[in-house]
Copies of this chain bind each other. A is one copy, B any other.
Amino acid sequence: MAVPAWIINLGTELCIGRTVNTNGSWLASRLTLLGADVRRIIVAPDTEDEAVPVIREAVEKARIIIITGGLGPTYDDRTAEFIARALGRRLRLNTEALRMVEEKYRAVGEPLTPERRKMAILPEGATPIPNPIGTAPGILIEADGYTLAALPGVPAEMKEMFTRYIEPVLRRLLPPVCVVEHCIRVEGVMESKAAPIVKRIARKHPRAYIKTHPEGREIGEPRIRICILLSAGECSEAEKEAKEILREAAEELSRLGGRVEQHA
């Protein structure tokens, strides 16, 4: 039973290509290893017209939604507002979030200005997620049919908060699985020549995901990487099947003159 997950990364710095979306791929990798089925990583601007429909669609189509960016104190940090609008919830000053924010600034003798207080205004029914590194709390909403978390865009804060506070919540949602990935590299066989073999093997092992990545040049310097992604209830079972599939692929491709490098 696949549990669909969507990742939404908000921010103009991502849309203009100034920042590479490493948050998206980090989250995708973590969610995949937890056993979720990541079906979208969406970068969108932090404007109401663009962000609200994306969040609304995510809630309709996914069971897990992770949003990054837009939780800070500046005028364009509006993710809490977008989530509230997408879900049809009100925005409320969250007393627990306010306590978290206040504490941080009080410790350095700074007052609670409107910009700082704003970080504690969350959608109704949300649980604030502590931010051990920065100041903006995250947002967790567990509803019928979906679990949505919003985390800061600063990678260190996002990673720490996901690992500490979101992962345990998701583990309860997701069936216990073990996801493994193994790859081999094959030199001397064109991807187009490997294609029918890969297709045949893929048909034979429907629960494995088999992908070839061209690394060299199809014409002149053919080199491909073949990867198997497989999830199973037990790690040993997943490992065994993935290695079996790769052995099969390596054998057939060697017969075509390919030089196979294991564990690529």
Contact = CB atoms under 8 A, between A and B. Distances in A.
Nearest to A20: B25
A75 B202 contact: yes
Contact of A28 (B14, B40, B74, B154): B14
A242 B12 CA distance: 17
Interface in A108-125: 108, 110, 113-116
Copies in the complex: 2
Interface string A189-213: 0111111101100100000010111
B229 A74 contact: no
A74 B212 contact: yes
Given A196-B115, A218-B134, A38 B24 contact: no
A74 B226 CA distance: 12
A141 interface: no
A21 interface: yes
A72 B214 contact: yes
A40 B39 contact: no
B15 A39 contact: yes
Contact of A104 (B44, B50, B212, B219): B219
A185 to B, nearest CB: 15
